[in-house]
Chains A and B, each alone.
Chain A
Amino acid sequence: MKKVAYFGTAVLGVFGLLDIYFALLWSPPERSMGNLIRILYFHVGSAWIAFLAFFVTFVCSILYLLRRNLLFDRIAVSSTEIGVVFTTLTLITGSLWARPMWNTWWTWDPLLTTTLILWFLYVGYLLLRGTMAGMERRARISSVFGILAFVDVPVIHFAVEWWRSIHPLVIDDTGINMPGAMLFTLMFGVFTFFLLYLVLLYIRSRQETQKIQLYKLRERVREIRVELGGF
């Protein structure tokens, strides 16, 4: 791994340990839900990063279609993969939080519902990619879908919100009272997750690039073999 990655991971390690300390030990329990608030620190961090990851995919999709440089495609797919992981974490932590709070595994909370739809969109992106031949074509088609999907996300969110306002459930997303210490922990968590995203994106994109380099080397070996008389 390059020095940048080593350094980044080290910094991430420090922040990660600090975050665990802040989230699990240092910050106070919340007034109504007690220690359950702690799941929220990871839930919110995952959610923001999931959305950020798909935004990066969106930007890289546009850049690919304009520039036709496959580097953008590699970053896009790496970001999407990481995004899917963080979306899954968001959904799981959301569910784990909802159960003790309201005795149900799923709430039709607009953000949570939008997140689930987002999960399907980007799993679809990966499935679409996985079943296509030809790097250039795959990148082109994925980029078109990446743009379409991201543009649709705000529309999906607003539609779900309006829909929910028609079907109010007993479960209501009341604002959580956040004194300073808790707010700090939340923001710190988000920042730590952001660092985690950056490190993962870097490593994953590098991996894609290295795959290409390996592939090119293999092709070169094959060509040389053919030139030397096919063995």
Chain B
Amino acid sequence: MSGLRSFQALVWKDVRTELRGGRFVVSSLAFGVLLILVVGMALGGAGQLPVDWSAGLLWLNLFFSSAISIGRHDDKDREMAGHWGVLLAPMDRSVIFYAKWLTTFLFVFVAEIGMIGAFFIILNQPAPKHPLSFVFVMLGGTMGLTGLGTFLATLAATSSMRDILVPLLLFPLAIPMFLALIQLTVFAFGGISHTGVWIQVLLGYLTILFILPWLLYEPLMEV
């Protein structure tokens, strides 16, 4: 199926470019760890934070640093209008979005691992009580965050205020997911005993993010 092969080719292109010194991962990681450090200082070097707060701070940092880096995710493509060349190809254009989502997810996730390490170390947090759940929440949350971020970065691509617009539009739209991720992280840390409705919220978000671009991508991609 040509769509699948095109998808693979586009993913490979992004991964290749990043491995050749794209510096997306490195800069996102650096900024993310820096934020954790600054938060730690802002809290006066506090150690044992209540689990509600630490979960909230973790996601605040992840959202913020991602929102800033995702805006740049296709800068390289635009240098010689490569992104237009891809639009010429005979495939469903939403494939372009899904490929971008996957690669952005991979890069942000790698950067996140470093950030999470910094979070546990610098803010002196105890290990999560349900580590498997914690991993799932991280994966799901990053998927949702990068999906929405990628979509908005494309939306705001032709705006002169693109770099501030992506975080400005991302946060309000992502509030339900943000709240869900915090609650699920609190659960993973052992702060509450059940996840309640929040898994459905997260899954609902991911479902919408899978479907909506497929519907809205064509008008978005016209030149």
Could you tell me which A residues sit within 8 Å of B by CB distance? 65, 117-118, 120-121, 124, 127-128, 131-133, 137, 140-141, 143-145, 147-149, 151-152, 155-156, 158-160, 162-163, 166
Query: How many Å from the CB of A134 to the closest CB on chain B?
Result: 8
Chain B residues whose CB sits within 8 angstroms of the CB of A149 once the complex forms: 172-173
Q: Complex: how many Å from CA A158 to CA B172?
A: 14
Which of B196, B201, B219 interacts with A144 by CB under 8 Å?
Answer: B219
Measured in the bound complex, the distance between the Cα atoms of B182 and A159 in whole Å is 12
In the bound assembly, the distance between CA atoms of A125 and B198 in angstroms comes to 28
Contact partners of A132 in chain B: CB under 8 A: 158-160
Give the distance to chain A from B165, nearest Cβ to Cβ, in Å: 6
Q: In B174-223, which residues have CB < 8 Å from any A CB?
A: 175-176, 179-180, 183, 196-198, 201, 204-205, 208, 212, 216, 219-220, 222
B26 within 8 A of A: no
**CB interface residues, B 138-192, toward A, < 8 Å:** 151, 155-156, 158-161, 165, 168-169, 171-173, 175-176, 179-180, 183
Task: Contact check, A140 vs B219: say whether CB atoms are below 8 A apart.
Answer: yes
With A131-B159, A131-B160, A144-B155 known to touch, is A159 a contact of B216 (CB < 8 Å)? no
Q: Report the nearest B residue to A158, measured CB to CB.
A: B176
A-chain residues with CB within 8 Å of residue B220 when the two chains form the complex:
140-141, 144
Q: Is the CB of A145 within 8 A of B169?
A: yes
Q: B residues engaging A (CB < 8 A)?
A: 151, 155-156, 158-161, 165, 168-169, 171-173, 175-176, 179-180, 183, 196-198, 201, 204-205, 208, 212, 216, 219-220, 222
Q: Which residue of B lies closest to A152 (CB)?
A: B173
| New A-B pairs, 9, CB < 8 Å, besides A137-B222, A152-B173, A162-B201 | A120-B168, A131-B159, A132-B160, A149-B173, A155-B204, A155-B205, A159-B176, A159-B179, A159-B201
A sample of 27 cross-chain residue pairs with beta-carbon separation below 8 angstroms, ordered by A number, consists of: A118-B172, A120-B171, A120-B172, A121-B169, A124-B172, A127-B161, A128-B156, A128-B159, A131-B159, A132-B159, A137-B222, A140-B220, A141-B155, A141-B158, A145-B155, A148-B151, A148-B173, A148-B216, A149-B172, A151-B208, A151-B212, A155-B176, A159-B179, A159-B201, A160-B179, A162-B198, A163-B183
Cβ of A176 to closest chain B Cβ, rounded Å: 27
